[in-house]
Structure 1
Amino acid sequence: MASVHEEIFLEEKEKSEGDFKTFFRLWAYIKKYKMLLALTFITLAIATVIELALPYLIRYGIDNVINVQYFFDLDYEGNFVQDDTGNYSLKKIDNNYFMVDRQTQEMIQVNESEYAHYFDDAIKRIRVFSITFIFVLVAQLFMNYGQVYYANVVGQKVIYNIRKDLFKHILKIEYKYFEKNPPGKVTTRVVNDTQNLSDFFSDVVTSLLKDIAIITGVVILMMLLDLQLSLYTIIMFPVIIIAVIIFRKFDRRAYDKVRTRVSALNSYLAENLSGSSVTKLFNQEERKKNEFNYMSNNLYKANVEQMYVFAIFRPLMNLLNYLTLSLVLWFGSQLLTDGQTTFGTIYAFTAYIDMFFRPLFDIAEKYDIMQNAFASAGKIFKIFDQKQEELGKGLYTTIEKGKVEFENVKFSYDGNNEILKGVSFKIEPNERVAIVGETGSGKTTIIKLISGLYKYQEGRILIDDKELYDYDLNMLRKKIAVVPQDVFLFSGTILENMRLFNKSISEEEVRKVSKFVYAEEIISKLPKAYNTIITERGSTLSSGERQLIALTRAVLFDSKIIILDEATANIDVETEFLIQKALNKISQRATIISIAHRLSTVKNSNRIIVVHKGLVVEEGTHSELLNKKGIYYDLYRLQFENI
């Protein structure tokens, strides 16, 4: 099983962009919202300052409001005088007031009215402190709300613009990208990866900035509170920093692997759900089950690897947290006993340590989200880095006649193996021409070059005697209709698919063209005729019905060149007869090029071009080519001898 879709996992080995480069590319979208960013950072700064101030404020309340003592000494007349350095402290015991001698612990009862105002003053100070503290908490609530709200607004606007630009870019990427990358992979980029970026903005951006500010602020405030106690605490910081750096390295690697394998599984599912009928018809359920289990197991292993990293980091941070707290309590109790610090200071330190480690605990989760987002952003920007197709010089914007000419055209998909080795032919306006040849001769490649999906390396392709790349290819394609063997139809009604959801084209006009190409004979038999709902890709319609819808669409948009790529290969005789009748009529107003393996379908062509090993080897009518007894004759004889 090791070979199943192994090429998809090669993406894991690609070197991703650095986080800084990815961030600067995101910054191009973020900086558009300067006012919202300013509001985000202002509310963030205020909320952070308040949060950092809370332990300091509580420390002040403990030491200067709640735990305040009034000290007295005796004057020359033997009266008690307030003096912070005196020998007596005022205490209230069982509703009686006492002066307690510091040296002998002797209690001397005093007059209540004389000293009660000291305790009334303490109650007032506690009340003022409590109201102030509540006010600060309410202010913090509003600031936190503001930072979250503004950050989310910026994030949603950024994601909307990225998703819009990404899809716009995808529409213009060179066609070869889609032949190498499955739809499921592209869908993952547009939907899942942009959602990961949304989570990054809503859950990480402001939180991460706030966490960094808090960690920095905590260190500074601890230094200001008590330098000696801070030095004991800082002993653990190098260990914490090393742990975070190691976690970052392994977590990024694990998340890159997870995102790649999610993409691979999505691609596999999209492909196999589309081909479910083939799986059933050829009894491939067991093999597909094994393939899915293999890919699902790869995703499971990647997730487990990421969980291992996370499972080690968080308990390690817990251990470091308690070790740091133990150091503070150990050395702080000694300093408190020696009178070198206060109880409020020790409380503030324990609060700041909790505040210091809280972001580190969150970092495990937030860093996961951030790495997930950066991995997703890297993959999104890889699509942005895909080269867009060159849309020509734009000197000409439409096809007037429908003449097509190849002059010694050479083309290779990979730059090494030439598919076309010097193809030359000419198709006149309104001529009905068939291109035939064995598989791999270059027939379909010719069609892709006419439509400008690939760029040829040598020679010239002329449309109405003008170089193909002198046209605006977007406008050119409006006059070139390709009817493939498997016609793609969108979810909607038959009417909407015929006019490609262009409501400026009336239903009456659609019906008129449908009659012209004999499509109405079949469509009228459907339950709701033109208003029949079809599912994605038109799976509820037969191949012939889809072909007739595509032909109607080509005529409706006044295509001057209509290309049929094996269009009649899988349809019934009745529908094929209708299509041949329609082509005879369409050829009076458009050039028709048919690619065919079934040579019986090209007999009515004005001319047949035979392609063999990348070269045009024969041209002529059906009877002329049979009389030559060359390659066409051999192909025709092989087909009909096998009937």
Structure 2
Amino acid sequence: MARGRHQPREKVKIDNPWPTIKRIWHYLGDRKFKLILVLVLVTMSSLLSLAGPYLLGTIIDELIDITQSTRLTQSLLLLGTVYLISIVTGYVQQFMMIRISQETVFSMREQLFQHLHTLPLKYFDEHQDGDIMSRLTNDIENVSQTLNTSVIQVFSSILTLTGTLVVMVTLSIPLTLVTLLIVPALYFGMKWITKRTRVYFKHQAKDLGDLFGFIEESISGIAVIKHFSQETNFKQQFTDKNARLRESGYRAQVYSGFIPKYMNMLNNMSFAVLTFVGALLAITQAISVGMIITFTQYARQFTRPLNELANQFNGLLSAVAGAERVFEVLDEEQDYTSVAHPYVKELLGHVAFHDVSFRYQDELILDRVSLVAKPGEMIALVGPTGAGKTTVLNLLMRFYLPENGQIDIDGYDTRTLSKHQLREPLGFVLQDPYLFEASIMANIRFGNKIATDEDVIKAAQKANADSFIQKLPQGYQTILKEDGKGISQGERQLLSIARALLRDPQILILDEATSSIDTVTEVKIQTALKRLMHGRTSIVIAHRLNTVERADTIYVLDAGKVIESGNHKTLMQKKGFYYNLYKRGFEETGS
């Protein structure tokens, strides 16, 4: 169940975009008053744009007829006023829509981040970190950029299209029919293009997520890559993934690039035919020259929103592809949770597994495991790699739910406890402790947010961490790099122990790891662990012989089953599986 594993490329399903668009619209609806004001401004701007060509045609006819000079001045002033108001409303609606879109995307991003923290560990096991990051950043940004412009453009284009059509029919039915010849060609052409564009935009979003995941994994594991001289292999993998993104991005952009070119071709053809037919009508004096100018302006105004709708469709497809990936996460089932158990006040730390079985992706990991840890006792889990030791701890913390059996703390089924009730009494010292990019004080306080500075320092002193902290440039205020880079593995482990001591838990979960640590630091860690474990229920994945020898009960796991149990002396006398493990040394077996 390793995180960030490479997943085979799945065939991208072409989903119906309308449910996704409706969900985006639902987010916009939360700001309906601002949105209504924007739509009112868009309506005003569209109506004013319809008045412009009519006034322009009137002015041309008045120029031809010299007797209309007084009305000409009035028409010019009116035309200037119309264009000025149209410009002002255009700017205001744009600024307001940017505000609405940013607030909408803020809500989506916040909801996505919060939902990620409610998902079970299984989800993160099955998805690369970089892919998840891509959904939080790149896919959300695609939605943001589209909302900034598309909502206004689409609404404005529909209004302009409808209004222009009504005016054109009023002015000249023959010229309107000529203008409408563009619609069938536009419809079938756009249908052919967008059918392909949607697929490639979705491929592009997925390939970008895969590439982000690979980059994140490569940077995190750079030391291992260099140690095993795998630079060439990883460069080739990056090239392959980058080429895949290049190909899907190229195809998406090529097909989407057809749209403006196709529209320009149709516009030019329509304008040429319209001018020719208008000239014939003018010769027969069926319409005036000013009317021809007015109509060509309306014809341009009719095709312009069609062109804008076509162009916006590209951005809309990209946004839908990104939004679909965001909604996929939001639709993931949340981690199992329960309301607070009404009778649980404080857990003392009696842990029991009753015939617990667990299956992961059709593979049986644990098979009818039973074990008991009484308050204040220490139990050790030993066995070869893949025996199921870490899974026992994950099930206790309810990162996963057992397939069969029951896990109790103080007689309460862990599934009946709230997350707070279950995890508040638990403390962790893991094999590879994670430290945040924050001060040492903040990293230790992560175990208990209400602890004072004095409490943090006392915990660090008990963990034997105070001496090395005091030697740092800013002491407890020293800012650690991401994941504790800049301090040694042993020092990271001491901070992790201090964090657990500050939490003062009833139950300790320890994945003890002191390998690759110098002797002096190892002694400090062992001393700190003894202080931490004193008087507490401790469940330990043991790596060192001296740890196992101190355990009250040792559970020996192999292939997901408890095959032996007892204290060190009893198990050694049996001369069974544990005896052989002990003689070979636990480190060699990967226990």
Change (3 A) 1:432 1:502: closer
CA distance in 2, matches of 1:465, 1:311: 66
1:86-132 per-residue CA deviation (whole Å, 9 max, x = no partner) reads xxxxxxxxxxxxxxxxxxxxxxxxxxxxxxxxx5xx33222111111
1:486-530 per-residue CA deviation (whole Å, 9 max, x = no partner) reads 111000111110002966422111111112222223333434332
Q: 2:528 matched to which residue of 1?
A: 582
CA distance in 2, matches of 1:482, 1:14: 42
CA positional deviation for 1:301: 0.7
CA distance in 1, matches of 2:453, 2:298: 73
Secondary structure at the counterpart of residue 461 of structure 1: strand
Give the conservation status (yes or no) of the 8 Å contact 1:609–1:619.
Answer: yes
Q: 1:37 matched to which residue of 2?
A: 35
Q: 2:517 matched to which residue of 1?
A: 571
When the two structures are aligned, how many residues end up with a matched partner? Answer: 585
CA distance in 1, matches of 2:530, 2:157: 74
CA distance in 2, matches of 1:463, 1:554: 19
Change (3 A) 1:568 1:392: farther
Secondary structure at the counterpart of residue 533 of structure 1: coil
Match of 1:391 among 298, 315, 337: 337
Give the conservation status (yes or no) of the 8 Å contact 2:12–2:203.
Answer: no
CA distance in 2, matches of 1:502, 1:47: 57
Structure 1 or 2: more helix by fraction: 2
Q: 1:55 matched to which residue of 2?
A: 53
Larger Rg: 1
Higher mean C-alpha displacement, 190-199 vs 586-595: 586-595
Give the conservation status (yes or no) of the 8 Å contact 1:437–1:597.
Answer: no
Give the conservation status (yes or no) of the 8 Å contact 1:516–1:582.
Answer: yes
Change (3 A) 1:501 1:536: farther
Change (3 A) 1:36 1:242: same
Is 2:299 the counterpart of 1:353?
A: yes
Give the conservation status (yes or no) of the 8 Å contact 1:492–1:534.
Answer: yes
Q: 2:87 matched to which residue of 1?
A: 141
Q: 2:164 matched to which residue of 1?
A: 218
1:337-392 per-residue CA deviation (whole Å, 9 max, x = no partner) reads 00001111111222122223333443454222111111111000000111101123
- The one-letter amino acid paired with 1:67 is I
1:222-621 to structure 2, matched below 5 A, reads: 222-395=168-341, 399-414=346-361, 416-500=362-446, 504-621=450-567
Q: 1:95 matched to which residue of 2?
A: none
CA distance in 2, matches of 1:552, 1:502: 11
Q: 1:112 matched to which residue of 2?
A: none
Secondary structure at the counterpart of residue 562 of structure 2: strand
Give the conservation status (yes or no) of the 8 Å contact 1:565–1:595.
Answer: yes
Secondary structure at the counterpart of residue 459 of structure 1: strand
- The one-letter amino acid paired with 2:495 is I
CA distance in 2, matches of 1:252, 1:565: 48
CA distance in 2, matches of 1:588, 1:278: 36
CA distance in 2, matches of 1:15, 1:248: 12
- The one-letter amino acid paired with 1:451 is M
1:518-554 per-residue CA deviation (whole Å, 9 max, x = no partner) reads 2223333434332222101112122211111111111
CA distance in 2, matches of 1:298, 1:372: 18
Give the conservation status (yes or no) of the 8 Å contact 1:483–1:567.
Answer: no
Secondary structure at the counterpart of residue 611 of structure 1: strand
Match of 1:167 among 83, 93, 113: 113
- The one-letter amino acid paired with 1:410 is S
Q: 1:9 matched to which residue of 2?
A: 9
CA distance in 1, matches of 2:276, 2:305: 24
Give the conservation status (yes or no) of the 8 Å contact 2:448–2:502.
Answer: no
CA positional deviation for 1:556: 0.6
- The one-letter amino acid paired with 1:584 is K
Secondary structure at the counterpart of residue 531 of structure 2: helix
Q: 1:68 matched to which residue of 2?
A: 65
Give the conservation status (yes or no) of the 8 Å contact 1:175–1:454.
Answer: yes
CA distance in 2, matches of 1:20, 1:338: 49
Higher mean C-alpha displacement, 213-222 vs 281-290: 213-222
Secondary structure at the counterpart of residue 550 of structure 2: coil
Is 2:57 the counterpart of 1:126?
A: no
Give the conservation status (yes or no) of the 8 Å contact 1:391–1:474.
Answer: no
Give the conservation status (yes or no) of the 8 Å contact 2:51–2:82.
Answer: no
5+ residue gaps, structure 1: 70-118
Change (3 A) 1:245 1:215: farther
CA distance in 2, matches of 1:642, 1:186: 36
Q: 2:134 matched to which residue of 1?
A: 188
CA positional deviation for 1:234: 2.0
CA distance in 1, matches of 2:448, 2:411: 31
CA distance in 2, matches of 1:496, 1:361: 55
CA distance in 2, matches of 1:413, 1:642: 26
Give the conservation status (yes or no) of the 8 Å contact 1:431–1:587.
Answer: no
Give the conservation status (yes or no) of the 8 Å contact 1:321–1:353.
Answer: no
Change (3 A) 1:506 1:289: same
5+ residue gaps, structure 2: none
CA distance in 1, matches of 2:112, 2:160: 36
Give the conservation status (yes or no) of the 8 Å contact 1:608–1:622.
Answer: yes
Change (3 A) 1:216 1:502: farther
Give the conservation status (yes or no) of the 8 Å contact 2:447–2:502.
Answer: no
- Structure with more contact order per residue of length (Cα contacts < 8 Å, sep ≥ 6): 2
Give the conservation status (yes or no) of the 8 Å contact 2:545–2:586.
Answer: no
CA positional deviation for 1:422: 0.6
CA distance in 2, matches of 1:215, 1:545: 69
CA distance in 2, matches of 1:272, 1:543: 20
Secondary structure at the counterpart of residue 50 of structure 1: helix
CA distance in 1, matches of 2:482, 2:190: 49
CA positional deviation for 1:269: 0.6
Change (3 A) 1:8 1:356: farther
Is 2:571 the counterpart of 1:625?
A: yes
Change (3 A) 1:624 1:525: farther
- The one-letter amino acid paired with 1:28 is H
Q: 1:636 matched to which residue of 2?
A: 582
1:182-206 per-residue CA deviation (whole Å, 9 max, x = no partner) reads 1111111111111111111112111
CA distance in 2, matches of 1:478, 1:141: 60
Higher mean C-alpha displacement, 397-406 vs 25-34: 397-406
CA distance in 1, matches of 2:587, 2:180: 91
Q: 1:92 matched to which residue of 2?
A: none
Secondary structure at the counterpart of residue 172 of structure 1: coil
Give the conservation status (yes or no) of the 8 Å contact 1:395–1:471.
Answer: yes
- The one-letter amino acid paired with 1:301 is E
Give the conservation status (yes or no) of the 8 Å contact 2:347–2:425.
Answer: no
CA positional deviation for 1:573: 2.6
CA positional deviation for 1:333: 0.6
1:377-427 per-residue CA deviation (whole Å, 9 max, x = no partner) reads 10000001111011234206664311111111111112x332111111110
